[in-house]
Structure 1
Amino acid sequence: MNIVAQAEVTRETYWGISSTEYALFYLLATITIAVLLYGVYQRFARYAEGDDDPFARIDDLPDRVTSAAKIVLSNEKNFNRDLYGGLMHSFILWGFLTLFIATSIIAFNQYGTDLLLNIDFWRGDFYRGYQFMVDAMGLLFVVGIGMAMYRRYWVRNERLWDRHTSNEDDVFIWTLFGLGVGGFLLEGFRIYATGMPEHEIVSFVGYGLAMAFDAIGLPTIEGTATDPTYTAVSVLGANAETLHWLTWWSHSLLAFFFIAWIPYAKPFHMISSFANVVTRDEKAGQRLPNVPSDLDATNAESIDDFTWKEILDQDACTKCGRCSSVCPAKASDRPLDPRNVILDLKKYRESLDAGGDEQPIIADGGTSVINAETMESCMACMACMDACPVEIEHLQSFTRLNRQLTDQGDVSSSMQDVFQNVMQNGNTFGDSPRNRGDWADELEFDVADAREEEVDYLWYVGDFPSYDERNKKVARSLAAILEEADVSFGILFDDEKYDGNDIRRVGEEFLYVELAGHHVETWEDCEFDKIVCTDPHSYNTFENEYPEVDFEEFSDDPMMPFDYEDQWNADGEIEVLHWTQAVEELVSAGHLELSGTELDYTVTYHDPCHLGRYNDEYEAPRELIEATGCTLDEMPRNRDNSFCCGGGGGGLWMDFEEEPKPSEERIREALEDTDAGAGVEKFVVACPMCMTMYEDGRKTGGYEDEIEIVDVAELIVEAIGAEEKAKVAAAAD
């Protein structure tokens, strides 16, 4: 081997490369950068062709970039429920960024300092630290790629394999692997061929490879000149210098390919994902885009109806399948995979840009991009958005597709019946508005009319607690609790209508505006301090969406039965609460006595999507349950990982061929996967829709004799001994 080792603590950047090769390298580098920049320009130019987005996306840009950098660099969403995946992606990301920074340092030292400072800092202790960090983070990079390959090819994680899985995914991962391993081989050949300088030991991976080359007797050019036994091998070119040269060019060409390829394939997610996180809506899902008052406005007749942010969502998708793995519709074999909807739209857009034929975006059967039944399957539970590591806002695109279905008249007959009921009677049951307050007749006290007297709480009861027999018991329980706490509360009786939350998510936007206008106009004539909702769906739409509606745009529309022109609760002066939040406040303030010793049940609690994932309220219901004395045994999927009951997004009114039903699967989880197992006596809910779905699932799943479905309010009523006032205990038996 070469016995003359390099003594200076640095290294030659282009060691072994001729001046002609040097010029060729920079010619190729210039072409590569030009191809990259042109591709990125094309991508962002395409976003500019998208429709305007209704939400501010680039306001406070410095803060947005800082926040996005924190999310991306910490990989916090990749660690969510997947430690292996979080570590894997962190190793790849941090390793890749370190190698990119390291390359930039070399370029700056080579050219920038000569031009600006005339200082060569890439030597001595800086060089040692640099080499150690590059090897350490480069090793993490290769380990991360190895973990990804193990999960993809050995374990064959099912969420990584679907109809959009392609050779592109293989080329991407193998190219990264080649870059990582090739970089270490290049380093090892250089260290070995330059005599294994002592200071290079900090490059522990490269130095280790050099020791391996030494152990196998790999010849060098100098070695062939002094040892005749190396001559035959050298003639074939198998010496360290030649192998270094081959590896250098192979590594460089592979790097050029990868850089040039970035804007045209999966690697673009390195740019689009960060841009997507920067431009995210912090209230995505909680609120939907404002309703266009222009009757000629289209929703999804063509791909150009989608906003630039929705197109960016499509490009940001990495096919990781996290959204698919948590989707309750997919788990129940409904024809919905959130990832595929996003990627189907992307594929269609790219086919059009390449000169392909147009086709309907969504329709009931036929050759449409998305089938109607696919979107009808969505429960609007927001699990997909919560799981997405790059902040794709699935619900915004999904609602656009549902709007188009409604415009085309392609919604299911059962949903059309619901629309008709709401239009004619103001409720989803089609019952008379005069009967809306009849649930209170069995109470031992009178419920105030909030239209006629001032109250502390204006209580929005909701459709199911007003008309559904099982949920009427919950309404009476809550009334008894408020009465026991000695607070004034009232309801709107026949002036209360359906809140509109779920029909909006099914696509019936104008009916939603009509309902919202009616309610805010009615509330203006009432005197109250707070609005309290029985249903998390009502709570969400009053808290997050009614304030977003531009009522002035619709005030002159003769089809809209309201004259309200202001923006309701724009400053948040009116507090909107779910009833568990209101009662928890009353307990904390001492207005309601719960000593925590009354009940002795072992229970589990189901987080409603619209209270939990939508609005981050997880503690109030749990504090109330525990305050009754019950032992709360959590299901494995709880809080933001809660599994939807299947009733959201119109699912309550549709019939699906599904096995198992989401409600059945959830009850099974309660009885088999909790620590108490079959010892769980009561399945506790805090949502009327959940109550309805789980009572149904208890019957269809054969669990009627194994567990009881109760609302938090029913536990509290029992704990404070107010059953008689509510008249619910006897009825329940």
Structure 2
Amino acid sequence: MSSILQTTTRPTFWRIGDVGKALFYYLAALAVIVFLYGVYNRVTRYAKGSEDPFERLDELPQRTVAAAQLALSNRKQLDRDTVAGVMHAFIVWGFLTLLIGTTILGIDIDFYRPLTGESFFVGRFYLSYSFVMDAMGLLFVVGVGVALWRRYGRKLDRLHDRHTSREDDLFLGSLFVLGVGGYLTEGVRILGTSTVRDVSFETVSFVGWSVKEVLVMAGMTPEMAAGAYPFVWWSHSLVALWFVAWIPYAKPFHMLSSFANLVARDEKAGVRLPGVPSDASPEEIGPSDIDDFSWKQLLDHDACTKCGRCSSVCPAKASGRPLDPRNVILDLKRYREERDAGGEDVPIIADGGTSVIDAHTMESCMSCMACMDACPVDIEHVTQFTEMNRRLTEAGEMDEHVQDAMMNVFQHGNTFGDPERARPDWTEDLDFEVPDARDEPVEYIWYVGDYPSYDERNQKIAQALARVFEAADVDYGILYEAEQTDGNDVRRVGEEGLYEMLVEDNAEAILDCEFESIVTTDPHAYNTFMNEYPEFEACEWGEDDVFHYTQVVADLASAGALGLAGTELDYTVTYHDPCHLGRYNGEFEAPRDLIRATGADLHEMPRNRDDSFCCGGGGGGLWMDLEEETKPSEERLREALEDTEAGAAVEKFVVACPMCMTMYEDGRKTGGYEEDLEIVGVTELLAEAVSES
């Protein structure tokens, strides 16, 4: 039995000869040298970029393990597109298995055999190896086949754009040729060696055996297979070696750069933005040259696989604004490559004239982070977009409407340009006095925000929340006229200096009070108070000290403080996840718990939670007058009435963000939905339910 197992193997370099074997090793060494040289050039190119403001390579072992888990699980590829996720999993797992299998064979041939005079590539090990390689190789071929069908058969829109090129065709084609070529080589070998030995054990290589059977049915004899084998083997080997050498110079490099990007990712990218060095001159703020981007951002550009997932979820692109996140990243990459090859220097971003990125493209960004959430390799679009907005700001090329809002903030502390003393006027219509946190210790400082303070529609939200707080006997207070705009969107349109001024002023006003926690009405304020303010010396609170009002009130409701029986309201409603509460900070359930607590019948829109579709107000969109084919708010209201399970039965469109309220009230008018549904805040539903209880 042991002698039989010892012959249960396959011949290596069969019919290739000593000269052929030497030539193969020479070409393999050459391919590896070309590969390593290409990788070296890539890495040294990144080193020419600026230093990244965040730590990217600390705790490297933990980062690498986390990146491997992401890559092997294909979790992000499965999001929104199950077929693509499974397809990519087949390709990745199959490719890695074939790579590992080839490495194992190389270890046996080049190290184990010369050192021991024996081979471990025999018997049960060989049989197990052959089965696993055939099974995983089949997954690889199937995965590549699906990718080819989606690109060329189905012609999926997001896979085709101005950066689509022959490189994409060659990449997928070479993978398919490698996969199929491996099975063809195996089938020819099994048939060719059948004249000199018993090959019945090769049935474990079920795909290769099936190929052999097909060749027999096609009329190929063992002698013909033996004669053809050297040609088939060399064809497959040369394609494989060429592919190895090609990896660092074209699209296949994403297999390395994407993984490196996952290793170096910042889990709070976009949620918190990098500051500007205190000693930076105006010319140094924002990228003027391609090397002003950090090494991680240059890696971002190379990690892009052109999959178009970011483009397919971008609300700016969907509304007809001149922004495609993928094209911005790839435009920067192409410019870098052309410039490195001796091309002309042009500005990175400008309003008119020749530049890599046009100003209107960046102004179109809503900072909703849908692109980053959808990206399977964690490209940090929003951070780069914000830094380009900073360059526009320093160059005096900011949108005129945004300039007006920024001037209002500078002069009056709010984007409306209304007097500071008018900020608490909304409290005058209440039948109780709202406590002043400056005069007495409170558990919660309630940061009300601009829109609930000055906008007539959103004042009703503030008043409803005040009533809820009173009903629950919450120990709270507000800052009255000492409050200024939070600055989240001021920062995201590029006004870093003004933002830092707001941080100092708001922090001083808050820290002059005696309090335990901060609660905000606006998710934008919640995000910046929790994730960005604490990075400034002026602040003395941490992320655990900041809450959105839905979180606080949800706890109150669950504790019975609101006296709700859960049957007070019988409306049919849907809920819109605000980007800064949901996608930014992962709070999805508190608002839903509150809606259900009122007794309302909640129906989800197809795009919900992480996949929510932006209202269009973020990133300064609330202040701009942009040309759009369909406003994001109009598209979202259409989704609520047409794509939600309840359909036209939806009576109320529930929001938890003042900016969303403003955008959807506008979309309800411009989209012709005024008679179809009502826009209401979570607090308004709660206040009504509390009054009914």
Normalising to structure 1: TM-score of the pair? 0.92
Where does residue 280 of structure 1 map in the other structure?
A: 265
Does residue 150 (structure 1) correspond to residue 135 (structure 2)? The answer is no
Which digits, 9 at most, give the CA deviation of each residue in 1:367-415, with x for residues without a partner?
1000000000000000000000001111111111111010111111101
Alignment partner of 1:618 out of 558, 564, 588: 588
Alignment partner of 1:265 out of 245, 250, 262: 250
Where does residue 359 of structure 2 map in the other structure?
A: 372
The alignment partner of 1:299 has SS state of coil
Where does residue 106 of structure 1 map in the other structure?
A: 105
- CA distance in structure 1 between the partners assigned to 2:522 and 2:619 by the alignment: 14
The alignment partner of 2:49 has SS state of coil
- CA distance in structure 2 between the partners assigned to 1:692 and 1:67 by the alignment: 40
Contact 2:479 2:510 (C-alpha < 8 Å) held by counterparts: no
Contact 1:6 1:197 (C-alpha < 8 Å) held by counterparts: no
Query: Deviation at 1:243?
Result: 2.1
Contact 1:94 1:141 (C-alpha < 8 Å) held by counterparts: yes
- CA distance in structure 1 between the partners assigned to 2:102 and 2:476 by the alignment: 67
Contact 2:193 2:222 (C-alpha < 8 Å) held by counterparts: no
The alignment partner of 1:459 has SS state of strand
Alignment partner of 1:205 out of 167, 190, 207: 207
Where does residue 644 of structure 1 map in the other structure?
A: 614
Which digits, 9 at most, give the CA deviation of each residue in 1:220-251, with x for residues without a partner?
43xxxxxxxxxxxxxxxxx2123211111111
Letter in 2 for 1:479: A
Contact 1:661 1:697 (C-alpha < 8 Å) held by counterparts: yes
Where does residue 9 of structure 2 map in the other structure?
A: 10
What does residue range 325-724 of structure 1 map to in structure 2 within 5 Å?
325-549=312-536, 551=537, 564=538, 568-569=540-541, 572=543, 575-721=545-691
Contact 1:652 1:693 (C-alpha < 8 Å) held by counterparts: yes
**Unaligned regions of 5+ residues in structure 1, if any?**
222-238, 552-563, 724-733
Where does residue 561 of structure 1 map in the other structure?
A: none
The alignment partner of 1:450 has SS state of coil
In structure 2, the CA distance between the partners of 1:118 and 1:582, relative to structure 1 (3 Å rule), is: farther
Letter in 2 for 1:401: M
Contact 1:39 1:264 (C-alpha < 8 Å) held by counterparts: yes
The alignment partner of 2:560 has SS state of coil
Which digits, 9 at most, give the CA deviation of each residue in 1:92-125, with x for residues without a partner?
1111000000000000111221355555211001
Contact 1:290 1:548 (C-alpha < 8 Å) held by counterparts: no
The alignment partner of 2:77 has SS state of coil
In structure 2, the CA distance between the partners of 1:691 and 1:104, relative to structure 1 (3 Å rule), is: same
Letter in 2 for 1:612: G
Query: Deviation at 1:568?
Result: 3.2
Where does residue 78 of structure 1 map in the other structure?
A: 77
Contact 2:275 2:496 (C-alpha < 8 Å) held by counterparts: no
Query: Deviation at 1:7?
Result: 9.0
Letter in 1 for 2:386: T
Where does residue 730 of structure 1 map in the other structure?
A: none
Where does residue 185 of structure 2 map in the other structure?
A: 186
Query: Deviation at 1:257?
Result: 1.0
The alignment partner of 2:532 has SS state of helix
Letter in 2 for 1:211: E
Contact 2:276 2:285 (C-alpha < 8 Å) held by counterparts: no
Which digits, 9 at most, give the CA deviation of each residue in 1:520-557, with x for residues without a partner?
112221001110000000000000000123x4xxxxxx
How many equivalent residue pairs? 685
Contact 2:452 2:461 (C-alpha < 8 Å) held by counterparts: yes
Query: Deviation at 1:519?
Result: 1.1
Letter in 2 for 1:261: W
The alignment partner of 2:113 has SS state of helix
Does residue 91 (structure 1) correspond to residue 76 (structure 2)? The answer is no
- CA distance in structure 2 between the partners assigned to 1:130 and 1:522 by the alignment: 68
**Unaligned regions of 5+ residues in structure 2, if any?**
none
The alignment partner of 1:133 has SS state of helix
- CA distance in structure 2 between the partners assigned to 1:379 and 1:568 by the alignment: 30
The alignment partner of 2:78 has SS state of coil
Alignment partner of 1:318 out of 300, 305, 319: 305
Contact 1:192 1:210 (C-alpha < 8 Å) held by counterparts: yes
Contact 1:645 1:694 (C-alpha < 8 Å) held by counterparts: yes
Query: Deviation at 1:448?
Result: 1.1
Does residue 306 (structure 1) correspond to residue 308 (structure 2)? The answer is no
- CA distance in structure 1 between the partners assigned to 2:10 and 2:118 by the alignment: 16
Deviates more, 1:709-718 or 1:18-27: 18-27
Contact 1:301 1:360 (C-alpha < 8 Å) held by counterparts: yes
Contact 2:503 2:533 (C-alpha < 8 Å) held by counterparts: yes
The alignment partner of 1:212 has SS state of helix
- CA distance in structure 1 between the partners assigned to 2:630 and 2:7 by the alignment: 70
Query: Deviation at 1:615?
Result: 0.3
The alignment partner of 1:531 has SS state of strand
Contact 1:313 1:393 (C-alpha < 8 Å) held by counterparts: yes
Contact 2:447 2:520 (C-alpha < 8 Å) held by counterparts: yes
Letter in 1 for 2:599: G
TM-align CA RMSD: 1.4
> After TM superposition, where is structure 1 displaced by more than 6 Å over at least 4 residues in a row?
none
Which digits, 9 at most, give the CA deviation of each residue in 1:318-373, with x for residues without a partner?
00000000000000011000000000000111111111110010011211000000
- CA distance in structure 2 between the partners assigned to 1:147 and 1:715 by the alignment: 48
- CA distance in structure 1 between the partners assigned to 2:286 and 2:277 by the alignment: 10
Where does residue 55 of structure 1 map in the other structure?
A: 54
The alignment partner of 1:528 has SS state of coil
Query: Deviation at 1:287?
Result: 0.3
Letter in 2 for 1:175: S
Contact 1:7 1:197 (C-alpha < 8 Å) held by counterparts: no
Which digits, 9 at most, give the CA deviation of each residue in 1:431-478, with x for residues without a partner?
000000000000000011111111111000000000000000000000
The alignment partner of 1:684 has SS state of strand
Contact 1:58 1:279 (C-alpha < 8 Å) held by counterparts: yes
Does residue 174 (structure 1) correspond to residue 176 (structure 2)? The answer is no
- CA distance in structure 2 between the partners assigned to 1:250 and 1:214 by the alignment: 21
Letter in 1 for 2:401: S
Contact 1:6 1:194 (C-alpha < 8 Å) held by counterparts: no
Letter in 2 for 1:330: K
- CA distance in structure 2 between the partners assigned to 1:298 and 1:380 by the alignment: 19
Where does residue 230 of structure 1 map in the other structure?
A: none
Which digits, 9 at most, give the CA deviation of each residue in 1:562-602, with x for residues without a partner?
xx4xx532x55x61000000111112233222210100000
Contact 2:348 2:355 (C-alpha < 8 Å) held by counterparts: yes
- CA distance in structure 1 between the partners assigned to 2:400 and 2:346 by the alignment: 25
- CA distance in structure 2 between the partners assigned to 1:622 and 1:74 by the alignment: 29
Deviates more, 1:655-664 or 1:294-303: 294-303
Letter in 2 for 1:129: S
Contact 1:530 1:577 (C-alpha < 8 Å) held by counterparts: yes
Alignment partner of 2:225 out of 240, 249, 254: 240
Query: Deviation at 1:295?
Result: 3.6
